[in-house]
């Protein structure tokens, strides 16, 4: 599928605004993850796994059966974005 080239000026402007806002959001999310990792490291916390949760002691993200975006562990239930 090829990208559309028949966009109006308003549509192009909307996509440009979306791109800018998502870039800002990604930058903020990256900064939040780095800060969360630093806090846990500074507290001498060993997460015990590669996809650990930043919000609880879950050591590894387990995709749920429903949409796969929430950790299946009952005590966690945080989103994939909230895991390393």
**CA 40 – CA 54 distance, rounded (Å):** 8
Q: What is the DSSP letter of 79?
A: B
**CA 62 – CA 77 distance, rounded (Å):** 9
Domain boundaries, the chain: 9-45, 46-84
Model confidence over 14-38: pLDDT tens digits?
999 999 999 999 999 999 999 999 9
pTM, whole model, 2 decimals? 0.76
Model confidence over 33-56: pLDDT tens digits?
999 999 999 999 988 878 999 999
Identify the bridge partners of residue 53 per DSSP, sorted by sequence position. Answer: 83
CA distances from 1 to 4, 10, 12 (A): 9, 23, 19
């Amino acid at each position: 599928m090829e990208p559309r080239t028949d966009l109006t000026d308003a549509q192009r402007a909307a996509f440009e605004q979306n791109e800018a806002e998502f870039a800002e959001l990604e930058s903020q999310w990256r900064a939040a993850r780095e800060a969360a990792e630093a806090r846990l490291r500074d507290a001498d916390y060993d997460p015990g796994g590669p996809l650990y949760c930043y919000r609880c002691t879950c050591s590894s993200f387990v995709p749920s059966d429903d949409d796969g975006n929430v950790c299946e562990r009952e005590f966690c239930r945080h989103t994939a974005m909230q895991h390393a």
